[in-house]
Amino acid sequence: MRISTPLIYTLGAEAIERQQVDLFETQQQIASGRRILTPSDDPVAAAQALNVTHAKDQTEQYSTNVNTATSALALNDSVLSQVTDLLQSVRTLAVNGGNASLNNNDRGSIATDIAGQLQQLIGLANSKDGNGGFLFSGFQVNTQPFVSTATGVLYNGDQGQLQLQVAPARALAISENGSATFEQVNNGNGIFVASAAATNGGSGVVSAGQVVSPSAMTGDTYQIQFSVAGGITTYDVIDTTTSSTVSTGNAYTDGAAIAVAGMQVTISGAPASGDQFTLAPSSHQSIFTTVQNLIATLQTQVSGASGAATVANGISTALQNLDQALETVLTTRAGIGARLRELDALAAGNDDRTTQYQQTLSQLQDLDYNKALSDFARQQLALEAAQKSFAHVSGLSLFNYL
Amino acid sequence: MGTSIFGIGLSGLTAAQAGLLTTSHNISNVNTPNYSRQEVLQSTRFPQFTGAGFIGQGVNVDTVRRVYNDFLGAQLQQTQAGASQLDTYYTQLTQLDNLFGDPVSGLSPALSDFFAGVNAVASHPADVPARQTMLSSAQALVSRFQLLDGQLIEMRAGVNSQISSTVGTINADASGIAELNKRITLATAGAGAGEPPNDLLDQRDALLADLNHQIGATGVQQSDGSFNVYLSNGQALVVGEQSYRLAAIPDSNDPQNLQVGLQTASGVVAFRPSDLQGGALGGLFAYRDNVLGSAENQLGRIAATLAQSFNDQHQLGQDLNGQLGGNFFTMPQPQVQVSVLNTGSAALAVTITSADALTASDYRLQYDGANYTLTRLSDNTQQSFATLPQTVDGLQLSLGSGTPAAGDSFLIQPTRFAARDLAVAINDVSKIAAGAPIRTSIATANTGSGQISPGSVDASYPSAALASTVTLTYDGTTGKFSGFPATQAVTVTSGGTSTTYAAGTPVPYTAGATISFGGISIVISGTPANNDTFSITPNTGGAGDNRNAQLLAALGRQNVVANGSATLAGAYGQLVSFVGNTTRQAQVASDAQAKLLSQAQQAQQSISGVNLDEEAANLQRYQQAYQAAGKVMAIADSLFDTILGIAKG
């Protein structure tokens, strides 16, 4: 076969150019550290790298949300822990206030002490977060949730609860609304409320009571009405919901258990004729109302056995309600604690996944330097060989010898 | 006898001289493109008969011809057209490949940043800086869409200008070939048959090679030595001394595209781009019509789907002012190109009804006087209908005004400009609808354990937005809820079974069932007690509500594109993969064709190319022949002297 002289140059130059392109490509890879410079280098891996990057971005977003949720919940928990301390302090003062040896003045000063703590409690319930929004007003972050009015502390927030997506299929509550935390507290023993009528003249004191037969409970309100005739104290039980009499003329023994429709209370002391005690299903009473009622009880000027009974009944009710309030706050805090633990686990999982994605991404698009450098050396050798041989071949000419 | 020797010597001298001239010509043209080496054909003169037999009379130079193989020449031209097409196609694709190759400047990071901004609002819904972050990242995302699309639009403009200049070169080559045809015919006729005008032939071949760089063209040799040139669609470009002109004009259907046609006295007769194969023009058409448009449409589809899905959800939310959300993005509208050849007055109106059903294709609607035929151009699927409006692939087609005439045609580009036209519709941070328009609550006086879900709204809510609180009261004896709005029917869905209750009637309670009315859905669970109440309220003052922001953020990971088959980021991944794969294939095909071209060149050059060593040898050969012929004449001279000496003596 003949070779034309221009072809020797063309082919030689083309071969050198090809080697240069390869070498340049490898050099680019080494300089950038990336195996895939353009999608066409490896279309499958390039698209996969985009998907993995997207998944990694999403996981990092979840990590950010986990951090946001953690700090929001930690703030809630810290405020609620202060609320717990305050309630416990109020409870101690209430127990002190129940001491029979105290006079009206002593109770008055305890009441003043508790009134101060009530203000602190309202202050805590109106706490703000780092962005200046109220913690416990639900969605109404710009509205102060608890406002003292003449008729008591009112809630101006709503029952909204903020949730945040912390995992692909997990949205987690990161706020507690004031209604659920401070308002929707069961009163009494949590199931029913045993209370003495304010007009009672005797010294009867009713206990918190307990449920002895859940199946016998009707949900109706009952009244225990006392009558004293000829030194003998008897009581009637009336279902006020249906206005029917359950039993009449029951003999009263001081301190003996009285069972009504599955509920059991103990009344001690000497009720006067016409004294009434009510057993009603538990409803909701706000923590602030509980404390305000306690203050009112302690501030009431009383005297005699009936007065002592009024105070004892009032303190007993307040203690029951305070216990319920503490239970509600502690339950809320337990929920927050459980979520914080879950967030810890999620954070660890997210970190693992991010690392995993990073590794996959690295495998997909990062350069294997050992291979690249060895390729580079090989291509450099090839280019030099092509250049050298071209110089030799192009120097060969018959004209040199003529 | 002496004169005879002189004659023979002279003929040898002339032949050697012709050889030297031709060799010098070859050496001089060693680097002339498309030059075919030439050689001298010589033969013995007619011998003189004597009694002693035939005595040779020297040499004749018959002709100088170029060493050329028609088959190899034609093969080279054809391979050249293919290689040029694939090379142009690949070169164009490389630009696209580079555009989508950069992981930093692509769409992915901007998309991730945008949804991070939405998440920031979901984390701190009342926080103005968080809202500003979301707006800014939305602006950045829109700019990224526009930047990418702007580069695609520039590429289209670049392709158009290359088509124009290519057409210019084609016309110049064609008239050059026609001119050479004329001169070759004259030269052949003038010098007599069998004496080829070698250099003119080479020049014409060079022009044909250049033409094949631009467009696939085949030459057909005519008996008078001229060459007729035909395009791949059969159109004659050069016939004898006559050349025809091509022209680049805007496409009658799509004025952004140039198409190529034949210039005639009455105007330009356009060719179908797919009929023009080979050369740079073929590569440009293949790139523009098969790749660039598709890339633009795919990018636009992501923009349109983002805009619609985000707007739909945003409209179900409530902004900081307590209003229902508006459009977050400006919805890009489909483009309708009315063919300039239409005779009817119809204006076609096309709107996107469901972005998730959009394809990345363009459509052509044709009217034949009775029926409309809609062709999806990506796969040429057709469907016919007698009337408009019609809804196809997420698009609603309707007659805006006027009436169509038979033969009218419209080009519909649903997403071609969507990436360019995408914009952020709001600039007031308070207009971001992060909250839900309703909220729920349970009365503090409730004694039962009933709970109510936060509630959600669907697309039918905005038309019948809740004006005042709806309070549901539970009747413990009948086990039913009352208090629903008097004019709205209530649907209860439990365990996949839905039951609808007439407006104004009490609804039986099923724990955990979804209760829906007027676009609102709530779930009540637990055991409500008699007279317990549950409220559904307009979310007045709900600045801290993030429920809608949560749902907006979720759009970033939902399959909203192409009938729920891909996420927004996934759709971009598909686009990158499409470009990468197409470029890869083009690279492989282009490399293979370049090999073929190289082989064809080698084969052709092995016949026609100049080899300087060979020429050096020839130079020696003819020089020696010249010297020898000169010696013959010297000897003839001395022979003559011998004769003269005899006469003298």
| 3-state SS track over B604-622 | HHHHHCCCHHHHHHHHHHH
Which residue from B147, B45, B59 is spatially nearest to B106, judged by alpha carbons? B147
Q: What is the dihedral of CA B478, B479, B485, B488, to 10 degrees?
A: -100
10 Å Cβ neighbour count for A206? Answer: 26
- Cβ–Cβ below 8 Å for B442 and A159: yes
Domain count, chain B: 4
pLDDT band at A6 (very low <50, low <70, confident <90, very high): confident
Q: Which of residues 420-439 of B touch A (CB under 8 A)?
A: 435, 439
Show which of B384, B401, B429 is a domain's final residue.
Answer: B429
Same domain, B38 and B92: no
A3 interfaces chain B, CB cutoff of 8 Å: yes
**Which pLDDT does position B465 carry in this prediction?**
87
**Which pLDDT does position B649 carry in this prediction?**
59
Answer yes or no: is B223 within a domain.
yes
B120 and B136 Cβ atoms separated by less than 8 Å: no
Burial class (CB in 10 A: 0-12, 13-18, 19+), B5: middle
**Which pLDDT does position B191 carry in this prediction?**
58
User: In chain B, which residue's Cα lies nearest the Cα of A178?
Assistant: B444
A381 and A26 Cβ atoms separated by less than 8 Å: no
Most B CBs within 10 Å: which of A41, A139, A140, as the mutation test of the B interface? A139
C-alpha A21: how far from its chain's center? 60
Same domain, B101 and B44: no
Mean pLDDT of A40-51: 88
Mean pLDDT of A157-163: 90
Same domain, B81 and B219: yes
10 Å Cβ neighbour count for B170? Answer: 26
Same domain, B89 and B112: yes
Q: Which of residues 573-612 of B touch A (CB under 8 A)?
A: 573-574, 576-577, 579-581, 583-584, 587, 598, 601-602, 605-612
Most A CBs within 10 Å: which of B302, B584, B599, as the mutation test of the A interface? B584
Dump strand ranges (E) for B531-572.
533-538
A68 and A399 Cβ atoms separated by less than 8 Å: no
Range B44-80 burial, b when 16+ CB lie within 10 A, else e: eeeeeeeeeeeeeebbebebbbbebeeebbbbbbbbb
Same domain, B413 and B483: no
Instruction: Look at residue A382 and tell me whether its pLDDT is greater than 60.
Output: yes
Answer yes or no: is B346 within a domain.
yes
A273 and A228 Cβ atoms separated by less than 8 Å: yes
Same domain, B196 and B340: no
- Cβ–Cβ below 8 Å for A54 and B573: yes
- Could you report the predicted ipTM of this complex, rounded to two decimals? 0.84
> Residues B367, B369, B371, CA angle at the centre, nearest 5°?
60
Q: How far apart are CA B155 and CA B532, in angstroms?
A: 68
List the beta bridge partners of residue B472.
Answer: B534
Answer yes or no: is B550 within a domain.
no
A11 interfaces chain B, CB cutoff of 8 Å: yes
B631 interfaces chain A, CB cutoff of 8 Å: no
User: In chain A, which residue's Cα lies nearest the Cα of B31?
Assistant: A6
Show which of B381, B400, B429 is a domain's final residue.
Answer: B429
- Cβ–Cβ below 8 Å for A46 and B580: yes
DSSP letter at B45?
P
Q: Taking the model in full, what pTM does it have?
A: 0.86
Q: How far does B72 lie from chain A, in Å, by closest CA?
A: 15
**Which pLDDT does position A151 carry in this prediction?**
87
Answer yes or no: is B66 within a domain.
no
What are the structural domains of chain A?
34-187+284-366 (1.20.1330.10), 193-283 (no CATH)
Domain carrying residue B9: 2-57+615-648
Most B CBs within 10 Å: which of A38, A48, A187, A397, as the mutation test of the B interface? A38
Burial class (CB in 10 A: 0-12, 13-18, 19+), A142: middle
- Cβ–Cβ below 8 Å for A171 and B616: no
Token pair recorded at residue B563: 């009938």
Answer yes or no: is B319 within a domain.
yes
Portion of chain A with pLDDT greater than 70, in percent: 100
Same domain, B203 and B319: no
- Cβ–Cβ below 8 Å for B613 and A398: yes
Peptide bond between residue B389 and the one before it cis (omega within 30 degrees of 0): yes
Same domain, B425 and B443: no
Show which of B519, B538, B557 is a domain's final residue.
Answer: B538
Same domain, B318 and B391: yes
User: In chain A, which residue's Cα lies nearest the Cα of B544?
Assistant: A139
Report helix, strand or coil for A310: helix
DSSP letter at B287?
I
pLDDT, averaged in runs of 10, over chain B (649 residues):
78 93 93 91 89 89 90 91 94 90 83 94 91 94 93 93 94 94 86 76 92 92 88 90 91 86 88 87 92 93 94 93 92 89 89 90 91 91 90 90 89 92 93 93 86 90 88 91 90 90 90 91 91 91 90 91 89 91 93 92 91 92 93 89 80
Answer yes or no: is B146 within a domain.
yes
User: In chain B, which residue's Cα lies nearest the Cα of A11?
Assistant: B598
Give the CA distances from residue B413 to residues B273, B350, B374, in Å, rounded to whole numbers and listed in that order. Answer: 19, 9, 13
**Which pLDDT does position B592 carry in this prediction?**
94
Same domain, B37 and B150: no
Answer yes or no: is B396 within a domain.
yes
Q: What is the pLDDT of residues A283-323, one digit of tens each?
A: 889 999 999 999 999 998 888 888 888 899 999 999 999 99
Which residues in chain A are contacts of B574 at CB distance < 8 A? 47
Q: How far does A55 lie from chain B, in Å, by closest CA?
A: 9
Same domain, B210 and B355: no
Mean pLDDT of A40-47: 88
Q: Which of residues 50-109 of A touch B (CB under 8 A)?
A: 50-51, 53-54, 57-58, 61, 64-65, 68
Q: How far apart are CA A384 and CA B13, in angstroms?
A: 49
B97, B572, B587 ranked by CB distance to A50: nearest: B572
* Lowest mean pLDDT, pick from A1-5, A118-122, B390-394: A1-5
B550, B573, B598 ranked by CB distance to A171: nearest: B550
Q: Which of residues 89-108 of B touch A (CB under 8 A)?
A: 93-94, 97-98, 100-101, 103, 106, 108
Q: HSE on the CB side for B40, CA within 13 Å?
A: 24
A65, A141, A183 ranked by CB distance to B544: nearest: A141
Rounded mean pLDDT of chain A? 91
Answer yes or no: is B240 within a domain.
yes
Same domain, B185 and B275: yes
